[in-house]
Structure 1
Amino acid sequence: MNGSRLLFGHIRAHWWLYLIGVASIAAANLVHAQFPRILGEFTDELQRGGLTAEAIRRYSLILLAIGVGYGVLFGAGQYMNHRLGRRFEFRVRQRLFAHFTKLSERYFGGNGVGKLLSYFMNDVTTVRESIANSLNQMTNASVLLVTSVAMMLWSGIPAGLLAVCVLPLLSIPLLVIYFGPIIRTRSGRVQEALARMTESAEEQFGGIRVTKTFGNEPVARQRFGERVDDIRDKQLQLVKATSLFQALLPFAGAVSLVAAIGYGGYLTIHGHLSLGLFVALTLYLRLIVTPLQQIGNVINTFQRARASLDRLNELLAEVPDIRETDSPKEAPASEEAGIEITGLTFAYPGTERPVLVDLSISVPPGRTLGIVGRTGSGKTTLAKLLLRLYDPPAGTIRIGGRDIRELSLESLRGSIAYVPQDGFLFSTTIRDNIAFSDRGASREKVEAAAKLAEFHGNVAGFKDGYDTKLGERGVTLSGGQRQRASLARGFLKESPILLLDDSVSAVDTVTETRILGNLRRSRKGRTTILIAHRLSAVRHADEIVVLEEGRIVERGTHEQLLRLGGVYAELYAIQEEGAAYE
C-alpha cells in the first residue's frame, strides 16, 4: 500500500485550507524577495551621491513594510498549516483507536501494548510534523528559490553570471535520489526500535512489583538498557546519513556564493556590473542558501514520515478475524436466550491440536449450567467462543436458535454479561467501574449490584465511598475486592445470559456462599453459565459438565456426578480434604 495515501487523503479533504496556508507563505516570500533589490537600488543611489533625506525615509519605510508584510503573511501561513497538522494528528489517533477496537484477540495477543502505543505517539507525531513543518519549509524554500532567481534576472544580472552561480545547485536532485531511500529505511528501523523500547517499558512497569519482590532490579535495568542501546545505535546510523545529506546541501550553496563573489566581483571591478547589482546578487544567493538547508530538512522529515506512514497504513490494513455478515441479526430476548452447542471442535489459529473436541451442550432459557475441569481442559476457550472473541465453526453454537456467527457483534456481546477471573478495572472511580455498561446508571442501581456481589460493605468503608478512585488496574483493591467489583459490573448489566469464568476464586468460602445465594435469587428465570475450579460454585447448577482435555467426560447434577464416582467425585474429594485441612 502506498505509504503516502493516508497523508494525501487528509490534504485532499482540506485542500482549500492548505491552499490558503501555502498562498500566505508564498506571498510572504514574494515580499521578502524584494529586500535585496531595494537594498541594491539604495546602494546604487548611495554610490552616485544622489541620496537625500527624503530618499532615506522612503527606503526605510519600504524595508519596514517588507519586514512587517513578511512577518504577518508567513506567520498566518504557518499557523494555518500547523493547525491542520494538529487536526490530522487528532483524527488519525481517533481512527487508530476505532480500528483497534475492531481487531481480534489474536492481534493483541501477538502485539504488546508498548508497540501499539508507539503508533499513537511516535508514528502519528512524525507524520504530523511532516505535514506542518515540511509543508511550511517546502513552500518557503521553493517560492524563495524561484523568486530569487526571477528577481536576479529582472534586476539585470547577466544570465552568464547567473548560470555560473546556479550551476552547483544542480547537484541537489542527485543528492535527493541517493540519500532519500537510505534515510527512509534507517528511519523505519528507528521507529521499530522505539516501539520495542516502549513495549519493554510497559512490561517492566507492569511487573515492577514482581521485580522488587525478587530483588531483580539489575536484570530489569539490563533488559531495558538493551532496548535503549538499540535505539541509540539505530539513531546514530540515521544521524550519519541525515547529517551528511544536510551538510552537502549548504555546501552547494557555498560554492554558488564563492562563484558569485569571484566572477561577480571581477565584472564589478571592470565596470560590467554595478555595485548595487553585485550587492543584490550576494544577498539573493544568501537567500538561496537558507532554502537549500530547508530542502534538506524537508527531505529528512518526509522520509521519516514515509516510514511512519507505511507502518500506519500496514496497521490500518489489518483485517479483523471476527467479522459480521452483510445483514447481521439481533440477539434474542431474555426468554429466548437458550444456548445450543452441537459438535463443537475448535483449535486456535496457527495450531493443529484441537482445544475442544465434539462438544454438545444444551442450556434451555432460564437454566444454569456449570462447567468444571482441570486447568487446560478448555473451559475459558469455550467462554471466548460464546463471545466470538474467536470464531467457532459455523452452526456449532446457537443462541435462541440463531447461529452466533449471524448475529451482530454488538447485540451478541450485549446479550452476555461476562465476568472473567481477572476482571480488568480502570483507573477511575469505583462507581464508573461498576457502571461500565451503563454510564447513566443511578447510584441506587450501582449499590444494588455491589450488594449482590457482597462488595457494598467494603465500599462503605472507603473514605470517598463509590467515588473512590482506583489505581492502575485497580491496584488499590485486594484480589477479592477486585473480583467482587467485576462481579458487580456483570450483575449491573442484567443481560439475558450471565457468564462467570471462575469469578469467585479469590474470595473466601463464606463470601462465596453469600454471592452464589444472591446470584440464584437475582438470576431466577435467566440463563447463567458458571465456569469454576471450586466445585462449590456449581453444585446448585441445573446441569454440570466435566471437561477433560477438551472433551466432555461426565455430565449431570451435583448428586448424580458424586454417585458416578468419576472425575467430578475425585475433584470433590480432593477439595473437601483441602478445606478440612485448612
Structure 2
Amino acid sequence: MQPPRLLLGYLRSNWYKYAAAILAITVANVVQSIYPRVLGDFTDTLHAGGITREAIVDSSLKLLAIGLTFGLLTAVGQFVIMKLGRRFEFVTRQKLFVHFTRLSETYYSKHGVGQLLSYVMNDVTSVRESISMGINQTTNAVILILSVMFMMSISSIPLYLIVTCMVPLLAIPFVVVLFGRPIRQRSLKVQESLAKMTETAEEQFGGIRVTKKFAVEPVMRERFGRTVDRVADNQLRLVRMSSLFQALLPFLGGLSLIVAIAFGGFLTIQGSITIGHFVSLTLYLRMIVNPLQQIGNVINTMQRSRASLTRLSDLLAVQPDIRESERAAPLKRGASDIRISGLSFTYPGSAQKALDNIELTVPAGRTLGIIGKTGSGKTTLVKLLLRVYEPPEGTIRIGGQDIRHATLESLRTQIGYVPQDGFLFSTTIRDNIAFSNRSSAAEPAYKAAKQAQIYDNIMQFPEQFETKLGERGITLSGGQRQRTSLARGFLKEAPILVLDDSVSAVDAVTETDIIDSLRAERSDKTTIIIAHRISAIKHADEIVVLDKGAVVQRGTHEQLIAQQGIYASLYAIQEEGTRHAAGEA
C-alpha cells in the first residue's frame, strides 16, 4: 500500500527542507560511528603501555569534537523535522475544515460532531507524529547502522566474527512482517473507538442541562463509561501487540551483543584479536541496539499512522452531493422572482415523496406564506431552494435562471435564511447579528435588532451589543435567541428572505411588531414566511397550504377562510386558543 496523496503531496512540496534535515542527521550519525574506533585505538595504546599525556589529550579532543558535532547537527535536523511536522498538522487541519464546509447536509446527518473532531484531533496528530518521529528516527537508525557496519568492515576485526554476530539480526524482517498487519488493524480500531468516545462526550456536554434537570447523571455516566471501556480495551490490545514487537527488536540486538562477548572474548583470549578490537566490536554492536529500538518505534508508529491516513484520505475523498456544474454562472444580481414548476422530491433512502408536483410563482417584491402540518414538506421546499438538497433539473428558477446552473455562492448570497432554531456562536451579540458582514459598522446591527424587536433587550445587558454569549447562545432566552437570529437575517438585506417558523418563540404582540417592521422594510423585496401560526402569514400576498408534500390550498387569507378547508380549520382552532388564553388572563 502506497502512502496516500495527502502525505506524499506535503513531503514533495517540502522535500528540500527534509533533505537538509536528513543530511544534518546523516552527518551526525556518521561522525558518531567514529567514536568506538577512537576508544578502541586508545584502549590498545593503553594496553601496550604506550599511553602519554599527548595521547590522552588527543583522544579527549577527538571524543569532544565527535560529541559536539553529533549534538549540534542532530539538534538542527530534529528541529527542522519537528517544525515541518507541526506545519503538516496546521495545513491538514485547515484542509479538513475547508473540506467540511463543502460537504453536504446528507453527510452531517450521518456523522456526529465528535466523530469529525476525532479526524481533526486524533488522526492528524497520529500522522504528524509518524512523519516527525518517523523521519527522524529512521534516518538516525538506518545511517547509524550503515555507518557502524562500514566502520566495522574497514577495521581490523575479522569478517567471520562480524558476520557471526550479525546472524540474530537476520530475523528482523520476519518479525516486521509478522507484526505489521495486526498492529495496523488494532490501531484502526483504536481510532474508531476514540471517534465514538469523542462523539458521545460532545453529545453529553451539549445536553448536560437536560441531564441535570432529569437527574439521570448515573445513566449518562454509565453510557459514557461504556465508550471509555471500549477505548481502553482496544488500546490495551494494541499496547500488548506493540510492546511485544518493540521488545523483540532490541532483544535480537542483545543476542548479537551476547555472541560478540562470548565469541569475541574467546578470540581475544586466544590472541586472534586485540583488546581494542574487542572493545570496538562490543561498542559497535551496542550502538546497533538503540537504532533497532528506534526502528521498532518507527514501524509501530507508521502502522498506527497508516490507519489514520486511511481514515483521513477516505474523508477527503468524500464528494459533496451538491456541486456546481461546469456551466454554472452567478445569479443575476438582485434577482428575486421565484418560479417553481413540477417539483417533486424524495429523500435518499425513503420510499415516500416529501414533495409532490409543486407549482408556485413568487413575483419580485411579493410575500408568500406557507403553512401546513409537521412533515408536510415546508422545510424541504426551503432546503431545495437553497440547494441544501439538489432539486430536479429545471424545477426551481430565480430570475429565470435554473438554480442548478447557478453558482452556490451567488445563490446563497441572494437568499437570507432564518431557521426556527437559529444557531448562535460563542461571540458577541453584535458579531452574531452581523454574521454575514463582520466588517459592517455598528449602525446596521442596531437597525436590524430594532426590526427584530430585540434591541431593547440587548441594551439592558451591562455590555449591550458587546455581550458575549455562551455556547449556542445559552446566555439568552429562547425568544431572545430567535429574535437575534432574525436580526441576522434582516441585516443581510438579501433580495429573498426565508423565515422558517422564525417567530414561533415570541409572544403575539412582539410577533405583530416584527411582521409590521418586515412589511415596511421589505416592501420591494421577496419574502417567504413558513409558519404554524396563521397570525404570522395572514398579511401575505399569497398563502399556500401544504399537506403530505402537495399544495392543497392557495389564496389570500380571506379567500382561504371562505374555502372552509384545512386553513379555515387551523384558523378556527388557533382563534379559539387565543380567546381561551385571553379569558384565563
1:226 is matched with: 226
Structure 1 residues 472-491: aligned runs within 5 Å: 472-491=471-490
8 Å CA contact 1:126–1:305 kept in 2: the answer is yes
2:208, 2:250 → 1: CA distance? 49
Q: Does 1:306 align with 2:288?
A: no
8 Å CA contact 1:180–1:299 kept in 2: the answer is yes
User: 1:4 deviation in Å?
Assistant: 3.1
User: Residue by residue, what CA displacement relative to the aligned partner does 1:200-234 show, whole Å, maximum 9, x if unpaired?
Assistant: 00111111111111100111001100000001111
Q: Relative to 1, partners in 2 of residues 1:510 and 1:3: Cα closer, same or farther, differing over 3 Å?
A: farther
User: 1:300 deviation in Å?
Assistant: 0.4
Structure 1 residues 215-364: aligned runs within 5 Å: 215-334=215-334, 336-364=335-363
User: 1:247 deviation in Å?
Assistant: 1.1
1:14 is matched with: 14
1:43 is matched with: 43
8 Å CA contact 1:2–1:310 kept in 2: the answer is no
2:329, 2:580 → 1: CA distance? 52
Q: Secondary structure in 1 aligned to 2:538?
A: coil
2:486, 2:565 → 1: CA distance? 31
8 Å CA contact 1:3–1:307 kept in 2: the answer is no
Q: Secondary structure in 2 aligned to 1:294?
A: helix
Structure 1 residues 145-224: aligned runs within 5 Å: 145-224=145-224
2:5, 2:185 → 1: CA distance? 18
2:519, 2:41 → 1: CA distance? 96
| Structure 2, unaligned runs of 5 or more | none
Q: Secondary structure in 2 aligned to 1:463?
A: coil
User: Residue by residue, what CA displacement relative to the aligned partner does 1:128-182 show, whole Å, maximum 9, x if unpaired?
Assistant: 0001011100000000111111111112111100001111111111111111111
2:297, 2:396 → 1: CA distance? 58
2:376 is matched with: 377
1:472, 1:3 → 2: CA distance? 39
1:538 is matched with: 537
Q: What RMSD over aligned residues (CA atoms) do the two structures have, in Å?
A: 0.8
User: Residue by residue, what CA displacement relative to the aligned partner does 1:397-446 show, whole Å, maximum 9, x if unpaired?
Assistant: 11011111000000000000000000000000111101110011101111
Q: Does 1:399 align with 2:398?
A: yes
1:518 is matched with: 517
User: 1:58 deviation in Å?
Assistant: 1.3
Q: Does 1:559 align with 2:558?
A: yes
1:539, 1:331 → 2: CA distance? 31
User: 1:337 deviation in Å?
Assistant: 1.3
User: 1:5 deviation in Å?
Assistant: 2.5
Structure 1 residues 99-114: aligned runs within 5 Å: 99-114=99-114
User: 1:94 deviation in Å?
Assistant: 0.7
1:246, 1:367 → 2: CA distance? 72
User: 1:2 deviation in Å?
Assistant: 5.0
1:498 is matched with: 497
Deviating beyond 4 angstroms after TM superposition, the runs of 4 or more aligned structure 1 residues are: none
Structure 1 residues 43-192: aligned runs within 5 Å: 43-192=43-192
2:2, 2:361 → 1: CA distance? 50
Higher mean displacement: 503-512 or 55-64: 55-64
2:579, 2:228 → 1: CA distance? 53
User: 1:327 deviation in Å?
Assistant: 2.4
User: 1:328 deviation in Å?
Assistant: 1.2
1:35, 1:248 → 2: CA distance? 27
Q: Secondary structure in 1 aligned to 2:143?
A: helix
Q: Secondary structure in 1 aligned to 2:476?
A: coil
Q: Secondary structure in 2 aligned to 1:546?
A: strand
Q: Secondary structure in 1 aligned to 2:341?
A: strand
User: Residue by residue, what CA displacement relative to the aligned partner does 1:375-400 show, whole Å, maximum 9, x if unpaired?
Assistant: 11110111101000000111111101
Q: Relative to 1, partners in 2 of residues 1:2 and 1:362: Cα closer, same or farther, differing over 3 Å?
A: farther
2:158, 2:483 → 1: CA distance? 86
1:459 is matched with: 458
Compute the TM-score of the two structures, normalised by the length of structure 2. 0.98
Q: Secondary structure in 2 aligned to 1:469?
A: coil
Overall identity of the aligned pairs, in %: 60
User: Residue by residue, what CA displacement relative to the aligned partner does 1:39-83 show, whole Å, maximum 9, x if unpaired?
Assistant: 101101111111111211111111111111111000000000011
User: 1:3 deviation in Å?
Assistant: 4.7
1:42, 1:187 → 2: CA distance? 48
Q: Secondary structure in 1 aligned to 2:312?
A: helix
Q: Secondary structure in 1 aligned to 2:340?
A: strand
2:383 corresponds to which letter in structure 1? Answer: K
Q: Does 1:446 align with 2:450?
A: no
Compute the TM-score of the two structures, normalised by the length of structure 1. 0.99
2:207, 2:18 → 1: CA distance? 46
Q: Does 1:423 align with 2:398?
A: no
2:389 is matched with: 390
Q: Relative to 1, partners in 2 of residues 1:179 and 1:487: Cα closer, same or farther, differing over 3 Å?
A: same
| Structure 1, unaligned runs of 5 or more | none
2:382 corresponds to which letter in structure 1? Answer: A
Q: Secondary structure in 1 aligned to 2:46?
A: helix
1:351, 1:159 → 2: CA distance? 75
1:2, 1:491 → 2: CA distance? 52
1:31 is matched with: 31
1:20, 1:581 → 2: CA distance? 82
1:459 corresponds to which letter in structure 2? Answer: I
8 Å CA contact 1:3–1:313 kept in 2: the answer is no
Q: Does 1:568 align with 2:567?
A: yes
1:2, 1:423 → 2: CA distance? 45
2:407, 2:333 → 1: CA distance? 14
2:171, 2:544 → 1: CA distance? 77
2:566 corresponds to which letter in structure 1? Answer: V
Q: Secondary structure in 2 aligned to 1:59?
A: helix
1:2, 1:204 → 2: CA distance? 39
1:12, 1:58 → 2: CA distance? 44
User: Residue by residue, what CA displacement relative to the aligned partner does 1:239-264 show, whole Å, maximum 9, x if unpaired?
Assistant: 11111111111110111001000110
Q: Secondary structure in 1 aligned to 2:156?
A: coil
2:178, 2:160 → 1: CA distance? 29
1:4, 1:314 → 2: CA distance? 10
2:215 corresponds to which letter in structure 1? Answer: G
2:430, 2:331 → 1: CA distance? 28
8 Å CA contact 1:21–1:81 kept in 2: the answer is yes
**How many pairs are equivalent?**
581
8 Å CA contact 1:200–1:224 kept in 2: the answer is yes
1:9, 1:440 → 2: CA distance? 36
1:552, 1:187 → 2: CA distance? 53
Q: Secondary structure in 1 aligned to 2:250?
A: helix
User: Residue by residue, what CA displacement relative to the aligned partner does 1:505-548 show, whole Å, maximum 9, x if unpaired?
Assistant: 00111111001000000001100000000110000000000001
1:215 corresponds to which letter in structure 2? Answer: A
